[in-house]
Amino acid sequence: MQLALQGIRILDMAWIGPGPFCATLLGDLGAEIVKIHEPDPDRRGGLIRFAFPADSPDFPGLRNCKTMGLNLKSEDGRNIFYELASTADVVMEGYRPGVMQRLGVDYDTIKRINPRLVYASLSGYGQDGPYRDVVGHDINYISIGGLLGMTGTADSGPVPPGTLIADFAAGGMGAAIGILAALMAREKTGKGQFVDISLTDGIVEMLYLWLNPFLLYGLENRRGDTIFTGHYPWYNVYETKDGKHLSIAAFEAWFYRNLCQLLGREDFAEHQFAEGEKRDEIFEYFKQAFLTKTRDEWVEILRSKDTCVAPVYSLDEIANDPQLIARGMIREMPHPTLGSVKQVGSMLKLSDSPFQVRNWATRFGQHTDEILRALGYDEARIHALRQSEVIS
């Protein structure tokens, strides 16, 4: 079986934020991911321990990747990196702008060694502009990108979303798309290129639904005052009798009509876009109606006739949902030391290149020796490099 990205080697130095998610996507598609870290991983701070928690012996590690400890501040370390980069397809890094240049492993340096290489830099604000050197994390990028200001109700104030959208969607998926596009362009031109991924840029583009009308017409939508942020009762979240919640998204007129019929108020159907007192009346009726039955009872009733309803799940419910299990999003995976582990699967379903787990990285520097041997280093040279703290 030929995996979609089989034969593509990626040197990954983007250890936190969007980098791990991007690497997982590309690794699951078949790319060989070599995660390069400093010989002493603690120098990168506590966040890196989310990947390999020292106090969790049953943590499976990261799938479809290898790890290598390499000191890029040393001449020997840089030379090893140059050897790796000479035959790699992609370099991915997540340091502050300018760090790679100071280390001597920036794009302008590496492209002289390998003109076919795609070099992706992932950062909060991008490689240029007045904010390029400003530090931040996910919540900062969704703030300045406008997403946080649109999340929540009119009364609640901005509410952080339930996952890292700047890191995973804007940054991780954005980087994967940029890398794949650059690899496709290389097939036509024979040359690699630089991919500049800004998490803030990605958030701003994801907000086009509200930004474009503002840019064109000056139309300013506010949190809790749009169709998709709680302004209408038919696109909203409701509490049920058992203290759980469900979501309703009866956007199309026929879905809304079905909803009104099943709730016993068919007369509401002609008032879908009502404002003022009528909208408040519908809101209040829906709120009280949904409190009369449990969440799952309502889901069964409303799914009997098209209404666009779904339960608001907790994590344990996600893990046991039959649709997610059937789609392989919650699945058992073979593991070299644990036998098998239950993990989140791959969202990418390719008919001829199905997802598979090829290997696991369970500790820092696990594959350093293997990678160096493939470059032709003998055991004595590897031992000397380790003694001089060039590798780990």
Confidence of residue 46 (pLDDT cuts 50, 70, 90): very low
Every domain of the chain and the residues it spans = 9-206+326-387, 227-239+245-311
Pairing type for strands 118-123 and 66-69 reads unpaired
Catalytic residue among 167, 201, 231, 367: 167
**137 catalytic residue (yes or no):** yes
pLDDT of residue 363: 84
| Arithmetic mean of pLDDT, 373-390 | 96
Active site residue 296: no
Range 356-372 average pLDDT: 93
Average model confidence (pLDDT) across the chain: 93
Tens-digit pLDDT profile for residues 254-301: 999 999 999 999 999 999 999 999 999 999 999 999 999 999 999 999
Q: Which of 145, 186, 135 is closest to 169 using CA atoms?
A: 145
CATH superfamily of 9-206+326-387: Crotonobetainyl-coa:carnitine coa-transferase; domain 1 (3.40.50.10540)
9-206+326-387 and 227-239+245-311: identical CATH topology: no
More reliable by pLDDT, 1 or 326: 326
pLDDT digits (tens, 9 = 90+) for 166-177: 999 999 999 999
pLDDT tens per residue, range 115-167: 999 999 999 999 999 999 999 999 999 999 999 999 988 888 899 999 999 99
Provide the pairing of β-strand 32-37 with 9-13.
parallel
Q: How many other CB atoms are there within 10 angstroms of residue 205's CB atom?
A: 12
The catalytically annotated residue of 76, 137, 306, 369 is 137
The residue type found at 235 is Y
Q: Which amino acid is at 254?
A: W
Closest CA to 283 of 235, 218, 325: 235
Identify the pLDDT of residue 45: 43
Q: Which residue do the tokens 């997540």 mark?
A: 94
Query: Any idea which fold 227-239+245-311 has?
Result: formyl-coa transferase, domain 3 (3.30.1540)
The pLDDT of residue 41: 62
